[in-house]
Structure 1
Amino acid sequence: MNPDPNSNSRSVAGMAVLITGAGSGMGRATAELFAAEGAMVAVTDRTFDVAQAVAQGIGGTARAWQLDVSDAVQIAAVTPEVATHFGGLDVLVNNAGIADFRKLDDPDYDEVWQRILAVNLTAHQRLVRAALPWLRRSPSPRIVNIASTEALGATPGNSAYAAAKAGVTGLTRALAVDLGREGITVNCICPGPIETGMTDAIAAADKQVFARRRTALRRYGQPQEVAQMTLSLCLPASAYVTGAVIPVDGGLMARNA
């Protein structure tokens, strides 16, 4: 497939974007950033009131949908609703995710494993498949999967989450190969320590110690910093970037000591 004649554009204005888990954290920051850049944004979240509050705060063309990504029926229903409402779909950001630490011998490990893989991995491929009919019609079709540096190096007691996120990186590369001939780019971002709801329970002092010991920049990142990378991958000008797994981690994976 030949590149879009406007492929040098660094604007997402007018593009239709579906973001999962957009009610808070990185998803919310991504929705706000895309809207500020002129995109039409579908703010989806497991709780409609949360999604609605974000969409109303953004204003403009942003609209809320309730979407539990672990529910295949909801994915199959909401995705075409979004595309119909906006007259197409150009960008899918698979951001929704959950975390739950469990040791291998914990009695509910299997239950946690199934739940984490359903939200953090299985949902990604279901959403991609649901969005494909519209992405194939887009002049600049983009898929961005949000994984984690846990896919690149695991934390004790976090095997289900690490396995799911590693699966996201593998899925990203495989889909990039499968969809490349159609001009659909598929990339993956691996956030490191970010100030989100998942890290709220960690004491500020502990975060500071961890960041100084482990990251090159010696601080936690902000959701907006991840959102900026997502936006960059979705620009028409980024048409030759696909299959990439990009850490946004303040140098966590680069630092040995």
Structure 2
Amino acid sequence: MTGAASGMGRATAELFAEDGANVIVTDRTLEDAQRVADAISQRGGPARAWALDVADPQAITATVQEAASFFGAIDIVVNNAEISGLLPIDDPDYDDHFHRLMTVLLTSHQRVVRAALPYLRRSDAARIVNIASTEALGATRHDSAYAAAKAGVTGLTRAMAVDLGPAGITVSCICPGPILTGMTEAISAEDRDVFARRRTALRRYGRPEEVAQITLSLCLPSASYITGTTIPVDGGLMARNA
């Protein structure tokens, strides 16, 4: 699992461990990843941490191979690595900004999947879950690079589902809406409350655990006929017009 040191990634790693999975915890720094792996291990769950910068293709290949060797198999891939940043499209630095977000938020997904594919093909219940965003479904001002990357994740998910379906590998996408994570902590509680009441049907921000539950559900044996789909976990954000 990429981006597993905090927020939705950490909640997902902990939930999978509680369900009995061997968890590969990766994040940009080993210290952050290790903290999550240690917490899981203290509760009796098997977990191992690796430092992984998903912008580095060689690091992806090496980490996947090491993790597969350590655990003996890879059955599930969760692409959750995340960065953000608003920038107007006419900003002089926009091209570099666009490239960076595409690399981390979209290109890394296919690199992780391709590195893991030899192991997934050996599994009898292989699952891939890509984490996108409701920004893939509707954009925010000055967020075009992020929105484009996340929309690319939904398209990549559908295409991979078609390509990998004959091998029995399912590929699904989750689009979280406003979730209480480290990325949204910079927003004041008052502004979060105003936004949630104005935009979501449930009138609140979601919790990382609520996204984690859907991720786990897509990886259960009962979800073996779900593939190529995009699921918003957004408190009714995309459903509400007014």
1:33 alignment partner, one of 3, 15, 29: 15
Q: What's the CA shift string for 1:98-156, capped at 9, x where partnerless?
A: 00100011111111111100000000000000000000011100000000000000000
For residues 1-257 of structure 1, the aligned pairs below 5 Å read: 19-59=1-41, 60-257=45-242
Which 4+ residue blocks in structure 1 deviate beyond 3 angstroms?
A: none
TM-score (norm 2): 0.98
Q: What's the CA shift string for 1:155-210, capped at 9, x where partnerless?
A: 00000000000000000000000000110000000000000111111110000010
State the shift of 1:70 in Å.
0.6
Q: CA RMSD in A?
A: 0.5
Identity of aligned residues (%): 69
1:197 maps to a residue whose letter is: G
CA distance in 2, matches of 1:73, 1:219: 40
CA distance in 2, matches of 1:219, 1:237: 30
CA distance in 2, matches of 1:252, 1:235: 26
1:201 maps to a residue whose letter is: A
Q: How many residues align?
A: 239
Q: What's the CA shift string for 1:15-68, capped at 9, x where partnerless?
A: xxxx10000010000000000111000000000000001100110311100110
Q: Which runs of 5+ in 1 are unaligned?
A: 1-18
State the shift of 1:84 in Å.
1.0
1:44 maps to a residue whose letter is: T
TM-score (norm 1): 0.92
CA distance in 2, matches of 1:101, 1:76: 30
Q: Which runs of 5+ in 2 are unaligned?
A: none
CA distance in 1, matches of 2:123, 2:68: 11
